[in-house]
Chain A
Amino acid sequence: MKHILGAGVSVAALMLTATVAFADCGAPAGSVRILSNDFNALKVVATAAAECASDTVTVTANQTTEHKNIQGPALTANPAEYTVAMVANNSIVPLMNDGLIRSLDDLVAKYGQELQPNQLIKIDGKVMAIAFMGNGQHLIYRKDILEKAGVAAPQSYDDVLAAAKAIKDAGLMEYPLAASVKPGWDLAAEFVNDYLATGADFFEPGTATLTINNENGKKVLALMQAEIAYMDPATYLTFDATEIQKQYEAGKVAIINEWGSIAGAILDGKDSAEGVAENTVIAGAPTFAGGTIPAAALWWDGFTIAKNISDADAEASFVAMLHGISPDVVKANPDAATWLVKGFEPGPAAVGVIANATNGARAYPMNPYIGLLHTALSAELADFVAGKEDADKALADTEAAYNTAAKEAGFLK
């Protein structure tokens, strides 16, 4: 019984970060309740924010990959279940749509002297979120294989395809490429990345009318098809971000399009075959179709403060979160993320995301209906990547599925 009790207590302590005071970070009295996704960089932030706990401040955190599904209901309650919701470009949208988060203008004026201007997510002139890290997909490749095949570092997707051909022709690898084309979220993200690089918009400005069923959409699908020709036909339909990481680490593929947040894990050489990690080069995303925009959406992660809570709790939460993303925390964890915080010196793993940003990659759209399009793409491009449908049909199906969903959600008539 004692054991069970002990285990229960320690589980509870893990789930609700202990409310022991480490250091006083100047937070006014109040309750800080954090909801966030569950990955390393966010754990660093939440753990640091928990240092603000004192006699008058309580800090708890629920870090779960299910955060997107509970944030809406949890913040709708009054008082809200959580005072802080950590979000990204896409997950802030439903909170905005329902007006569940508050403007941070006054809190930024009072406490935000250390914040950099590009950390402030401004919507309609009001600061709605504080970003602290960037992310995105970019190239990771094996320089030894490329050298053996006699090709230079790829800059555009034409280069990538030419390199793949050279590697295959030289007999180095049968299927040198991998990208996340598993039907579902990953596949749709791949389409969004490439479509952003065409410079075109997904919707008619100011409306929810879809504008991807055109030459640009077809160009993107043609590119995907060309890439798939160099992917292992037996497994490419199961390629998501973790799967291509495994394929790459096992030395089976030479060029992958992978998330910046995974680059560190590839560089550290753990679980890698011999010769993979030391020959790995991290580079920005390639350009596409003669354009200059890198084919990768820029993502940010940040925090928002709930609307349905007392001003005292909001203030305590804001200060605790600022402590969580303070330059000291970032300095102690330089490899955890591509931080946007002052004083961050990017390490080797951050090169790709920063290259994307400096080369003018576009942000993942933040409009209210991009999620519906993402879902439509997830399902309707499946037949296309499986080689059972042509591009025209895939785009028409996507449009039909999107229109149906957008009508149901009240965005289209």
Chain B
Amino acid sequence: MPHKTFLAFILPSIIAMVLFIALPIISVAVQSLYVEHDKVLVTVENCQPLGGCTTETVVDSEATAKLKAVAPLGEFNGLGTYFNHAHLAIDEVAEIVSDNTGFADIVARLYNLPFYRALSFTLAYCFIVTPLAMLLGFLIALAINMVPRLLKGPVIFFSLLPMIITPLIGSLILYWMISAEGILGVGLKWLFSDPTLSLKSSLPLTWITLIIYGIWTNAPFSFVVFYAGLQTVPGDTMESAMIDGASRWERIRYVVMPHLRPLATFVALVQLMDNFRVFEPIVGLSAQANATSLSFAIFNDLRNQNAQQYGSAATTSMLTIIGVIILLMPVLIRTWREYHQKS
């Protein structure tokens, strides 16, 4: 294809990407460097029904508006927001590193900082859910490949259900099922003969619930891709493997799996990105007491009581983007190498 045609072909996409991806990211990056102006405070007499009159501090809105008009972005704070208590917390981390009573103490104190707490669940979720969901998806795909043609349609439909249900709704349904009166909650109490068992109040159980939910909801995507891949496994290779006396396991291990490898890389890439921004199940399962994620932290900043903390939310967003890049680095490097080996 001549360069000119290629350019004309791809130009609309480039424009769209700049408009809808690059510019918003730049705007968020700029936002993360600013905090709000100093508020001008005044003390005034304040009267409310029932409570009577008290002196109360209020913001002098006119004076503050003047400050805002001069510099609408706010006050430049550099990387200050990145390093504060709610994000990377470098002061606190330095203190923990210099003065601690051992590894367990370091972990416990780091976990007490909001950003690291969110990061630890996010990473745990990412690295446990992604491989297990891929494995489950692969097993479903293998199983369905064996099902008689007549049954395939309905079985595929049921396997895709978790993907069809909106994550928030799915997690809410699970939340009610595992509540103390729900069918799963009662079932588990009976199974372990422990009347006080609650999936909601213990940290490990909450994490396990979220992770199982994640595997359930992520497996269909792997399944669809792997199932499509299975249809392209060359028939003659399989046949010759069979003639050579390879068992079913050996055929899967040495023919099917190498064939699906590029697909697995693709699925891993998409799933890692997806799982890094885990959010809905935390809201749906009301799990914020035991598990928060980076996306949840952003949500929390923007759904504040009175005022949105744009700077803080923007900073967490930037840290999330950096996290995704670091996470995908090995996969990207490998894809790049494979591409260069071929060409």
Task: Identify the A interface with B (CB < 8 A).
Answer: 68-69, 89-91, 93-94, 96-99, 118-125, 131, 134, 182-185, 203, 205-208, 232-238, 298, 300, 340, 356-357, 361-363, 365-368, 370-372, 374-375, 379, 382-383, 385-386, 388-389, 393, 397, 400-401, 403-405, 407-411, 413
Contacts and interface: CB of A to CB of B under 8 A. Distances in A.
A98 B312 CA distance: 20
Given A386-B201, A408-B81, A409-B307, A233 B46 contact: no
Given A374-B305, A382-B289, A99 B61 contact: yes
B109 to A, nearest CB: 10
Indicate the size class of the contact surface on chain B: 35 or more
Contacts of B61: 96-99
B112 A368 contact: no
B51 A363 contact: yes
Contact of A69 (B37, B49, B74, B303): B303
A94 B300 contact: no
B251 interface: no
Nearest to B64: A97
B48 A401 contact: no
B38 interface: yes
Contacts, number: 192
A383 B201 CA distance: 10
B39 A409 contact: yes
A375 B50 contact: no
B290 interface: yes
Interface of B: 35-39, 41-51, 53-59, 61-62, 64-65, 74-75, 81, 84-86, 112, 114, 179-180, 195-198, 200-201, 203, 286, 288-290, 300, 303-307, 309, 311-312
Given A97-B59, A120-B47, A235-B200, A386 B290 contact: yes
28 contacts: A91-B306, A97-B61, A118-B50, A122-B53, A123-B46, A124-B46, A125-B44, A184-B286, A185-B305, A206-B57, A235-B179, A238-B179, A238-B286, A300-B50, A368-B58, A368-B306, A371-B304, A372-B306, A375-B305, A405-B312, A408-B81, A408-B311, A409-B35, A409-B36, A409-B309, A410-B36, A410-B37, A410-B75
A211 to B, nearest CB: 13
A401 B85 contact: yes
B41 A206 contact: yes
A234 B200 CA distance: 8
A134 B306 contact: no
A368 B46 contact: no
Contact of B112 (A68, A123, A393, A411): A393
